[in-house]
Amino acid sequence: MLGYRFTDYQPDPNQQGQSTFDQLLKIFMELMVITSGDVNETLQWMTSLDNQYNITNAEYGMGDFIQELKDKGYITDENAEGSFDPTAKTERSIRKSALEEIFGKLKKSGQGSHKTPHSGAGDEASTDRRDYQFGDSLEQIAMTDSIRNAQINHGLGNFTLTENDLEVNDTEFKTQTSTVLMIDISHSMILYGEDRITPAKKVAMALAELITTKYKKDTLDIIVFGNDAWQVQIKDLPYLKVGPYHTNTVAGLELAMDILRRRKTKNKQIFMITDGKPTCLKKGIKYYKNSFGLDSKILNKTLNLGAQCRRIGVPVTTFMIASDPYLKQFVQKFTEVNNGNAYYSSLKGLGNLIFEDYRRNRRKQFKQ
């Protein structure tokens, strides 16, 4: 029998014992993403919420919260207009909270955590042993095991240590990956009353925080695409806004390939978050646009670029935030010519899908 089971409300244990400021700060950070970093609009929303739901109390009001935000360096009003602006501390906090929300608490496993199925000339020690090979350093030699081998091979009476007796501590091969994350900021990302850009921004911030804190030798470049495509900095992610744009997937892929072409790493990949078909091309200074169905001119150009990415060894993983049959048909064609991956995701599951695919792709070396 299907139905609902009701239980007593249990407060979030993570919020128990938190100060009023910390509880309000969590709401503030969430709204900062939704308002694209507009501090004044965020505080107006919080004031409205306070009037309706009493999120503050008699001892600690919104004025106290705003003053504490200033005192702790989250916002500043030191500008000509006297309005509030976010600080670098706020940007870091937003990225950290996005990482924790989407990926959960990461366990400490040492700096790097570069896992591959291969051993090699890395500097991360493993528990495996192997025979000595010319070029191995003295520090790698496992002396205890090597001496034991000499005793077994030559006896105790005439102790001799030869090259064939030596064993070394193997090291794990460290991979490095260059990733370009493409984010669709066309108008359809907020169309029909559904906010798709906020989850996309959260994923981008979480991925940026993951790479910059856990995979420090990897690179992450972020580009947005609408009628055109351009690169944005990690610090600008909370402030991304959807524009009155069409979807120029070609421009996004061309810029992503140009960025990766300059990277020296062997592992390169593109992640593309989008909710719609390509609808735009740029020819000189003019745009060719068609929002109805799949335009063959735009589609063929997009598929050609997907095939070109495949030839240079750059897989494209597409995360489609939509379920329309004709959109799936486009993604299937694009994935086939690129030999990449595609996911048709709900907004709730988007973060976990990107995380898993990032970790899987970075563990192997793509052949060119």
Q: Which two tokens stand for residue 221?
A: 């470049």
* Position 46 pLDDT exceeds 70: yes
Q: Rounded to an integer, what distance in angstroms lies between the CA atom of residue 79 and that of residue 343?
A: 44
Strand, coil or helix: what is 277? coil
Domain boundaries, the chain: 20-86, 119-172, 177-361
What pLDDT score was predicted for residue 97? 84
Query: Would you say the C-alpha torsion 196, 199, 201, 207 has a positive or negative sign?
Result: negative
Could you tell me which CATH number the domain at 177-361 has? 3.40.50.410
pLDDT tens column, 263-302: 988 899 999 998 878 999 998 899 999 988 789 999 999 9
Q: From 363, 346, 100, select the one nearest 210 (Cα to Cα).
A: 100
Query: Would you say the C-alpha torsion 335, 267, 219, 115 has a positive or negative sign?
Result: positive
- Parallel/antiparallel/unpaired status of strands 286-289 and 177-184: unpaired
Cβ-based neighbours of 234, under 8 Å, separated by 6 or more = 95, 205, 208, 212, 220, 222
pLDDT tens column, 161-191: 888 888 888 765 567 889 999 999 999 888 7
* Position 156 pLDDT exceeds 80: no
Q: Which two tokens stand for residue 99?
A: 């990482």
